[in-house]
Every structure is written in C-alpha cells, then in structure tokens.
Structure 1
Amino acid sequence: MPDFEEMYYTLMRASEEALRIMIEAQKECEEMYVSNDENE
C-alpha cells in the first residue's frame, strides 16, 4: 500500500518551495522596476 503520508509531505514540501521561489522572483522584479524608475 502506498505511503500516503509521505506522498502528502513530499507534495507539500515541493509546493512550499515553489511558492518561496515565486515570492522571491516577485520581489526581484519589484526591485528591478523600482530601480528602473529611479534611473529615469
């Protein structure tokens, strides 16, 4: 029988990591946008 608990935690860890990566990318883009405005 599959270990559903381990499957769940594996999926949740990957989801958390994906969300962290997306938040970091958004912050980087916001910083790029703000710094571009300052240069003009």
Structure 2
Amino acid sequence: MPDYKKMYLTLFRATEQAINTLIQAQQECEELYISEPETELKIISLQNGQSNEEP
C-alpha cells in the first residue's frame, strides 16, 4: 500500500518551496522597481487625433 503520508508531505514541502520561490522573486522585482529613478513623463496634447510631435 502506498505511503500516503509520505506522498502528502513530499508534495506539501515542494508546494511550500515553490510558493517561497515566487514570493522571493516578487520581492526582488519590487525592490528593482522602487530602486530605479523615476521616469520623466511627457504630456502630449492631441488635436483631431494627431500628435503634436514629429514622427
């Protein structure tokens, strides 16, 4: 008969490890995002659906 407890615990540990890996990656990406200098936004006014900027 299969050892269901061992199977459950193996799957549980792997699932927990995967979740922790995703959380760590998310935190690293958030840190990269907030450590970057702010992007300068440029407002472009539109007239008749056309941009004022040259192509």
Band the TM-score falls in, shorter-chain normalisation:
0.7 to 0.9
Percent identity over paired residues: 55
**CA displacement 1:14-38 (0-9 Å, x = unmatched):** 00000000000000000011011xx
Question: What residue ranges of structure 2 are gaps of 5+ in the alignment?
Answer: 39-55
More strand by share: 2
Q: How many pairs align?
A: 38
Structure 1 stretches of 4+ moved >2 Å: none
Structure of higher CA gyration radius: 2
Long gaps (5+) in structure 1: none
Please give the root-mean-square deviation of Cα atoms over the aligned residues, in Å: 0.8
- TM-score norm. by structure 2 comes to 0.65
**TM-score of the superposed pair, with normalisation by structure 1:** 0.88
